[in-house]
């Protein structure tokens, strides 16, 4: 939701924006967080089990589907039966029930698969909402959370976090053990960026992350490629230790060497993810600042992931980059246009001739007018023409 008003010659928008920060809880707060993760997972799984039991008594699928109020009201009944649920944030338990209702709704609308039970190893997250200012900033780097008290965090967003109206917060723990806080803030002021009167065509690729129509290339860090050797070694070590633990009939969660190897694999995956995210955020912001109109191909990335180039496409994260460009352009008063990708790499941007023989690798030479250019730059120019 975006509300806007004019202030002088600039447009000021009030938007709902999410911020993700690193959390640094104490040992006692970590124990409370782990307990809350477990309780929200228990509520989700228990209500899902009850819904499945109800399904057995009904012939029509939607007849056994409880309403949102039924799910939420069931939480109070569970707290009477299971006393340990009273020790954690009650709003987080209600949010878990609402998440299950949403999962069922998406299933019946054919948007998702049938809801699954949450595993202990993969489900370490919960959401709580602001009620009577129970979520508020004490200082720039300290926030008060329900049942946790004051928690230290890394705030790299300045006053946008402390001055906005916090709606909800999601606390999660990633596989490498780090805790993160995602805050949804309402009424965050955003100003339109100054107009540059420059338009740009962008051709996404693998040899270069992006080729611009003015001849500039953006190079991705290729995080997976650089850390792949270390990741393979860490995964082999983990596989050997798991096999040895099973051979010696030891529980995996009690094997310290297995857990150390798992942490090493998780840390490498987190490193790859953070390097990639950092590049995508900075590149998308720089493009939105520099150009008024950005033209890109309307690629079906999901279908392209079925090809032999799936690994490189996943490492480049084209879909996430396009999403970032879209919402940042909406925020800052810029425009993103999507064009048909057909024949953009085979068409000469000078004479318009379309020939498969025009392109040879990364070189483009028109068979009709003999115009020469870099193949990706030529494609970016065609994308910009199509957008116009």
Residues 50-90 pLDDT 10s = 888 776 655 545 555 778 888 889 999 999 999 999 999 99
Please tell me whether residue 334 adopts helix, strand or coil conformation. Answer: coil
Answer yes or no: 203 catalytic: yes
Asked whether residue 232 carries a pLDDT value surpassing 50, the answer given is yes
Which of 89, 315, 373, 376 is an active site residue? Answer: 376
The answer to whether the CB of 376 falls within 8 A of the CB of 208 is yes
- Alpha carbons 277 and 283: distance in angstroms, whole number: 10
Query: Taking the alpha carbons of 34, 36, 38, 44 in that order, is the dihedral positive or negative?
Result: negative
Which residues are registered as beta bridge partners of 151? 143
- Residue pLDDT, tens place only, 12-45: 778 888 899 999 999 999 999 999 999 999 999 9
Answer yes or no: 278 catalytic: no
Which of 70, 228, 297, 373 is an active site residue? Answer: 297
Asked whether residue 8 carries a pLDDT value surpassing 50, the answer given is no
CA angle 1, 131, 180 (to 5 degrees): 70
Asked whether residue 4 carries a pLDDT value surpassing 70, the answer given is no
Which of 70, 89, 203, 353 is an active site residue? Answer: 203
At 328 the pLDDT is 93
Q: Report DSSP letters for 116-146, one per residue.
A: -PPPTTT--EEEEE-STT-SEEEETTEEEET
At 229 the pLDDT is 94
Angle between helices 223-247 and 256-290 (to 10 degrees): 160
Structure token pair of residue 23: 């959390």
SS3 content of the chain, % helix, strand, coil (to 5): 45, 25, 30
The answer to whether the CB of 369 falls within 8 A of the CB of 351 is yes
Nearest to 166 by CA among 201, 192, 128: 128
- Alpha carbons 79 and 84: distance in angstroms, whole number: 8
């Amino acid at each position: 939701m975006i509300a806007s008003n004019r202030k002088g010659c600039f447009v000021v928008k009030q938007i709902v924006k999410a911020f993700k920060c690193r959390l640094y809880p104490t040992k006692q707060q970590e124990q409370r967080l782990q307990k809350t993760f477990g309780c929200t997972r228990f509520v989700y799984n228990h209500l899902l089990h009850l819904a499945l039991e109800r399904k057995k008594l009904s012939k029509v699928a939607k007849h056994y589907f409880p309403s949102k109020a039924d799910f939420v009201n069931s939480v109070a009944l569970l707290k009477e039966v299971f006393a340990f649920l009273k020790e954690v944030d009650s709003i987080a338990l209600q949010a878990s029930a609402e998440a299950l209702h949403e999962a069922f709704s998406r299933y019946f609308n054919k948007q998702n698969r049938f809801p699954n039970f949450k595993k202990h190893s993969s489900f370490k997250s919960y959401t709580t909402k602001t009620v009577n200012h129970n979520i508020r900033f004490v200082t720039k780097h300290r926030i008060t959370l329900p049942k946790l008290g004051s928690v230290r965090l890394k705030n790299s967003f300045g006053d946008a976090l402390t001055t906005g109206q916090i709606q909800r917060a999601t606390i999660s723990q990633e596989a490498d053990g780090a805790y993160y806080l995602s805050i949804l803030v309402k009424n965050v002021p955003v100003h339109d960026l100054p107009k540059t009167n420059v338009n740009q065509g962008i051709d996404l690729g693998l040899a270069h992350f992006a080729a611009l129509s003015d001849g500039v290339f953006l190079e991705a860090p290729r995080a997976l490629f650089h850390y792949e050797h270390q990741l393979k070694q860490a995964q082999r070590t983990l596989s050997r230790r798991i096999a040895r633990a099973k051979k010696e009939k030891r529980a995996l969660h009690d094997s310290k060497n297995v857990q150390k190897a798992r942490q090493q694999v998780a840390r490498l995956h987190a490193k790859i993810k953070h390097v990639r995210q950092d590049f995508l955020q900075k590149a998308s912001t720089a493009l939105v600042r520099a150009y008024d109109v950005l033209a890109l191909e309307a690629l079906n990335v999901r279908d392209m992931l079925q090809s032999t180039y799936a690994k490189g496409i996943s490492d480049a994260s084209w879909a996430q980059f396009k999403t970032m460009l879209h919402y940042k352009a909406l925020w800052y008063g810029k425009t993103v246009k999507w064009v048909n990708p057909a024949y953009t790499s085979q068409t000469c941007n000078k004479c318009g001739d379309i020939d498969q023989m025009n392109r040879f690798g990364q070189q483009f030479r028109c068979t009709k007018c003999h115009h020469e250019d870099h193949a990706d730059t030529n494609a970016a120019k065609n994308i910009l023409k199509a957008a116009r």
